Structure 1
Amino acid sequence: MKRKLLLCLSLVAMMMTGCVDQMNVEDVTLTLILGLDLDEEDHLVVYMSSPVFNKEAKVKEEKVEVKAVTVRDSRELFDTTVMALTSGSKTQLILIGKKLLKRKNWIDYIDAYYRDPKNTVTTRVVAVDGPVSEVIFYRPQDKPRLPLYLANLVDTASRRNVTVKTSLQEFHEETTEKGMTASITEMKKTDKIMLTGTALLDNQSRYKLSITPKENKLLRILQNKTKGDFPFTISVPLKSNGRDKHWLSFGTSNIKVKTKVKYDNHFIFDTNVKMRIAITERLFPFNVRKDTAKLQKSIETKLQKDFERLIKKTQTASIDPFGFGIYARAYSYPEWKKVQNQWGKAFSKADINVKVSVTIGGMGTIK
């Protein structure tokens, strides 16, 4: 009898442990968007967007701006103005102004999100081309709440490979990995918010350059991250009918990437990209059935030039967002070990040979 009683009491105690530190949602200010930027005097400005659960409130979203020394310090300042205790456990996005991204050691400001176990590390890291305040205080009339709108915008664009989607956890991995440099989503506010592509950072996590949505697809392929959709619209180099440009659209869901490494006083990377595509749009007369090989070759030539242009751009900036350094470490470790702390410089001198092989697997329902 005593044993049964003790067992029942133990079960009740176990069930109650989850309720000890419970807090009503009305008593918490959930930071769904955190913004970090610098003012005109280069002082840190922290922004917060959180939902309002009060029935009497007409505006269901609360936005606050404070000047603080650190992100943790800003929480105390937020608590002096918001109605409930500030929490970062549900943060969806961290918006970082490009002005701050160019500063050395800016990454120290997000230390609290890694150190405090109550914070989430699935937060999306986003670079803002312009003042963060323009994004935070934007109130679109035809969109849902800003945190939901921006989170869905990043997720959808990532599935179409228009931009990368980098969580705090992934960002930490990329910034601590010597064999590659980090890349994060980039957005801009004009008359509306739009994703402009991807911001590429250097080995000290400072902003280096931006790439377009079209270039981002090439980035993801070279990273061997080929999930999602890869729709392309390109001008193929065909000479026919006196036309200068021959526009063609195609999609591919089957991409295979293989990279080999050699070393001969510098690193040499040979990357083979195999793509099986389906034509979705063709704005010029062409007999695809008869001249399949000719069209495949022209697509390969165009894509290969695009890959080479993107690689050249990153080598000039001495950054490696593709992760070629990871291959160098895996297959040529003795040589990699000598340059691991200056990989950007070594990568800028490397030979990157990309060979594209295209197979047309479909041309649509009409000839």
Structure 2
Amino acid sequence: MKRSLRACLLLSAWLLSGCWDRTEINDLAFITGSAFDLADNGEYLLSLQIAVPSSSSGGSGGGSPQQKFFVLSATGKNANEAFERLQKKSSRKLFTAHRSVIFVGKALGRQGINGVLDVFAHDPRQRLRTYIMVVKGGEARKVLQSKYPFDQVPMEAVKEMEGQQSEVAANLRDFFMSASSLGIDPIMGAIAVEPEDKDPGKTGLFKLAGSAVFKETKMVGLLDGDETDGLNWATNHMKNGRINAELPQEQGNVGILVTHAEREITADIQGDRIRFTLLLQGKGMLFENNTKLDITRPNNIALVERALEATAEKQVQDVLRKVQKQFDADPVGFGLFLHQNKPKQWKTLQKQWGRSFAAAEIKVVVKLTIGGAGMAGPPLQWNKKEIRE
């Protein structure tokens, strides 16, 4: 009797433990990218790029193939309200786990993105490793509407671009950590859409376009590509960076691919006077030589290294001056360095750090080592008599 009862209970448990509440994949709409803009009435304009499953791409015979994605947009007083309105436009349940990137329009960035970030901070369905970027010029949803020749779903191309880390690549986790930390202001990458040559009214290809600097959750300024390269080194995020330098006396220029870079900050505080020294050390391979110098010679290598160091120092110094004086922001984390290494001085400076940082002296020192000349040794287009050894 007991055995029969146990068998019945086990059978009942097995029958009741099925996936009765599961969601079939055919009932999901996979979101690949989101864009937040500021609508004319002051509400949020949320746009979603949704992938079209290959099985529903349809179209056989000689007809043109159906687009692999489409874009839905809706407004709302907050991000949740806009999302719910978009759900009413979709026959499938909107699914965010496959989203690659989130775009923020420039106008909304200037106003502040605290309302946008709040959704991702509290909703467990959101992935904190999703990239977040500011869109330069126009609406952020224009990026979602643009096509890309290498990828059927354009957001995959943006994901790959960010993964290369050629410029600033910040995800939600990075932004949250910087925004909530003492002595450092958050940054995120920027992207722009180029108009088509034949029809300026249509959207063309998108491209990485520098970075955006925030103070708390409000954008305070934009940096171009060259400035972003300098900021990447200053923030210790340089990866395969390139530096080019002119040598007027040699009537040419040289270029180096930095494969290894390090950053070191030191500080000297005397009363109200704050002095920082930013030491940047790098090693790389010379990939371009448009001078008549034979780079295989030690004296010529030293000459090129000095020229590259001077160029890098100016590049980093210029961007630091811009964020320090114009943006009144500290994306490098000089304040964070004081907080971690000089807590007593930081306790005094913390409340007025914005003003103190703006008045601080920052010295940039760059030390570069050319590890090899590769194919950029003696210029092949010059004969031996013209090459300077």
Query: TM (normalized to structure 1)?
Result: 0.87
C-alpha separation between the residues in 2 aligned to 1:171 and 1:20? 38
Query: Residue in 2 aligned with 1:165?
Result: 169
Query: Residue in 1 aligned with 2:43?
Result: 43
Query: Residue in 2 aligned with 1:115?
Result: 122
Query: Residue in 2 aligned with 1:136?
Result: 144
Query: Residue in 2 aligned with 1:256?
Result: 262
Match runs of 1:286-297 below 5 Å: 286-288=293-295, 289=297, 290-297=299-306
Asked if structure 2 preserves the Cα contact closer than 8 Å seen for 1:238 and 1:298, the reply is no
Asked if structure 2 preserves the Cα contact closer than 8 Å seen for 1:27 and 1:85, the reply is yes
Query: Residue in 2 aligned with 1:185?
Result: 189
Q: Does 1:337 align with 2:335?
A: no
C-alpha separation between the residues in 1 aligned to 2:354 and 2:140? 30
Asked if structure 2 preserves the Cα contact closer than 8 Å seen for 1:250 and 1:281, the reply is yes
Tell me by how many angstroms 1:39 deviates. 2.2
Query: Residue in 1 aligned with 2:133?
Result: 126
Q: Which string of whole-angstrom CA distances, capped at 9 and with x for unpartnered residues, describes residues 90-117 of structure 1?
A: 221111000000004x222221211011
| Residue 273 to residue 140, structure 1, CA distance change in 2 (3 Å) | closer
Higher alpha-carbon Rg: 2
Asked if structure 1 preserves the Cα contact closer than 8 Å seen for 2:240 and 2:260, the reply is no
C-alpha separation between the residues in 2 aligned to 1:216 and 1:20? 51
Tell me by how many angstroms 1:344 deviates. 2.6
Q: Which string of whole-angstrom CA distances, capped at 9 and with x for unpartnered residues, describes residues 232-264 of structure 1?
A: 2x2334424xx3xx3211112122222112211
Asked if structure 1 preserves the Cα contact closer than 8 Å seen for 2:259 and 2:285, the reply is no
Tell me by how many angstroms 1:356 deviates. 1.0
Q: Does 1:268 align with 2:275?
A: yes
Asked if structure 2 preserves the Cα contact closer than 8 Å seen for 1:33 and 1:49, the reply is yes
Asked if structure 1 preserves the Cα contact closer than 8 Å seen for 2:144 and 2:155, the reply is no
Asked if structure 2 preserves the Cα contact closer than 8 Å seen for 1:26 and 1:54, the reply is no
Query: Residue in 2 aligned with 1:93?
Result: 101
Q: Which string of whole-angstrom CA distances, capped at 9 and with x for unpartnered residues, describes residues 332-353 of structure 1?
A: 2122123324423221111111
Query: Residue in 2 aligned with 1:69?
Result: 77
C-alpha separation between the residues in 2 aligned to 1:76 and 1:301? 54
Query: Residue in 2 aligned with 1:280?
Result: 287
Asked if structure 2 preserves the Cα contact closer than 8 Å seen for 1:262 and 1:332, the reply is no
Asked if structure 2 preserves the Cα contact closer than 8 Å seen for 1:26 and 1:53, the reply is no
Tell me by how many angstroms 1:222 deviates. 1.4
Query: Quick one: which of 310, 314, 318 aligns to 1:305?
Result: 314
Q: Which string of whole-angstrom CA distances, capped at 9 and with x for unpartnered residues, describes residues 199-236 of structure 1?
A: 1112x32122222223222212211234x31122x233
Q: Does 1:223 align with 2:229?
A: no
| Residue 357 to residue 56, structure 1, CA distance change in 2 (3 Å) | closer
C-alpha separation between the residues in 1 aligned to 2:128 and 2:180? 15
Tell me by how many angstroms 1:142 deviates. 5.5
Q: Which string of whole-angstrom CA distances, capped at 9 and with x for unpartnered residues, describes residues 155-189 of structure 1?
A: 23x1xx3x211111111111111211111110111
The answer for unaligned runs of 5 or more in structure 1 is: none
| Residue 225 to residue 154, structure 1, CA distance change in 2 (3 Å) | closer
Identity %: 17
| Higher deviation after alignment, 77-86 or 341-350 | 341-350
C-alpha separation between the residues in 1 aligned to 2:148 and 2:365? 45
C-alpha separation between the residues in 1 aligned to 2:282 and 2:88? 56
Query: Quick one: which of 221, 229, 246 aligns to 1:209?
Result: 221
Q: Which string of whole-angstrom CA distances, capped at 9 and with x for unpartnered residues, describes residues 50-73 of structure 1?
A: 112373444432310101111111
The answer for unaligned runs of 5 or more in structure 2 is: 58-65, 196-204, 379-389
C-alpha separation between the residues in 2 aligned to 1:258 and 1:142? 40
| Residue 41 to residue 247, structure 1, CA distance change in 2 (3 Å) | farther
Look up the equivalent residue of 2:302 and give its one-letter code. Answer: A
Asked if structure 2 preserves the Cα contact closer than 8 Å seen for 1:178 and 1:343, the reply is no
Query: TM (normalized to structure 2)?
Result: 0.83
Instruction: Find the residue that maps to 2:157 and give its secondary structure.
Output: helix
C-alpha separation between the residues in 2 aligned to 1:112 and 1:29? 19
| Residue 301 to residue 30, structure 1, CA distance change in 2 (3 Å) | same
Query: Residue in 2 aligned with 1:314?
Result: 323
Instruction: Find the residue that maps to 1:326 and give its secondary structure.
Output: helix
| Residue 30 to residue 353, structure 1, CA distance change in 2 (3 Å) | same
Look up the equivalent residue of 2:120 and give its one-letter code. Answer: Y
Asked if structure 2 preserves the Cα contact closer than 8 Å seen for 1:25 and 1:53, the reply is no
Instruction: Find the residue that maps to 1:81 and give its secondary structure.
Output: coil
- The root-mean-square deviation of aligned C-alpha atoms, in Å, is 2.5
C-alpha separation between the residues in 2 aligned to 1:223 and 1:54? 42
Number of aligned positions between the proteins: 349
